[in-house]
Amino acid sequence: MGKVISFINLKGGVGKTTTTVALAEFLTYEFKKKVLVVDLDPQTNATILLINQDVWKKANKNNRTIHQMFFDEFNKTKAFNIQTSIIMKTSNIAGGNANLHLLPSSLDLIDLSDRISELDVNHETNSNSIPILSNHLTKELINTYDYVLIDCPPNLGFITLNGIYISDYYVIPVIPDILSTYGIPQMLNKIEFSKRKIKRLKSSYNLLELGLIVNKMIKNSGLHKTTLETLQNGQHLSKSDLSYVPTLFTSIIYQRDSSCRIADFEMKPNTIKQKYSTNYIDYKNLAAEFINRTNE
């Protein structure tokens, strides 16, 4: 039975997309899982981490991205086909992995931003707007995978709601500094509000928190150490009535020499260990913990 996990943070630059893609690659290459990555972010970063730009251009030209899925909703057309839109072999490791699939995003989603905002305002009265993705990514299709990982935009708007509507869990990647963790209480409040909103549409809905993943940890940074200790002690760095802090993953992703090369698709590593180099153990431990948490 496939498990769906949304990766959410309202702040950019916290390693959300890198974490999503790294986990997808480790789950497939190291743990032999079948994984689908759904890129809901108009910035399209997860997409270009998993396929080269020529493959993306072809998919975009042929209406095989999530842009077409939302475009159909606005224009009452039926050009989008999820079966032909999912790219079946992705990653730059050893020529790609047949068990790592991608539903790509598109920069063209930005052109729909105004109309998306209209749906964002009206989705409480328009119950058909939140389940758009679920109409295509059905339970039957989800169950052909071990994991579906959804890279959400840095907001809790209409597109993200489409992702968490079909999700079993959510993860919050963070950097251990004040700016990246300050908004956690507000984000948790918004997620809870969104869950209540969705539950009115689907009474069986239950989105579970999987935890915080600490990214880009600098070992010698006093600020990072202090922030990590604060989070580990269940404390927030901002003033809020919300005293709860999601459980931290014990596996931490450190800022290392190889970190900047991971995002270069044009590199052609032969193995996952070669690609992730000094970050290999960090991500392997994280993937193992991720599997354990989703199995509990």
Predicted confidence (pLDDT) per residue in 50-65, tens digit = 999 999 999 999 999 9
* Verdict on whether the full-model pTM lies above 0.85: yes
pLDDT of residue 91: 97
Q: Could you tell me the CA-to-CA distances from 205 to 50, 167, 182, 196, 245 in Å, in that order?
A: 31, 9, 28, 9, 22
CA atoms within 13 A on the CB side of 108: 18
- CB of 258 within 8 A of CB of 278? yes
Q: What is the pLDDT of residues 88-106, one digit of tens each?
A: 999 999 999 999 999 999 9
Q: Tell me, what DSSP letter sits at residue 97?
A: B
| Exposure b/e, 274-287, CB count within 10 A at least 16 = b | ebbeebbebbbbbb
Q: What is the pLDDT of residues 218-272, one digit of tens each?
A: 988 999 998 888 888 766 555 444 456 788 999 999 998 766 778 888 889 999 9
pLDDT of residue 128: 53
Q: Could you tell me the CA-to-CA distances from 29 to 20, 34, 148, 156, 216 in Å, in that order?
A: 14, 9, 15, 31, 23
Q: Comparing 25-39, 83-97, 147-161, which segment has the lowest mean pLDDT?
A: 147-161
pLDDT of residue 231: 84
Does pLDDT of 127 surpass 60?
no
For the chain, percent of residues with pLDDT exceeding 90: 64
Structure tokens at 153: 């935009």
Domains, the chain, in order of start with CATH, read 3-295 (3.40.50.300)
Average pLDDT, rounded, for the chain: 89
Q: Tell me, what DSSP letter sits at residue 108?
A: G
- CB of 25 within 8 A of CB of 96? no
Residues 6+ apart with CB under 8 A from 166: 4, 133, 134, 137, 142, 148, 150
Does pLDDT of 125 surpass 50?
no
Quickly list H helices, 123-271: 132-136, 139-142, 158-165, 178-181, 184-201, 222-232
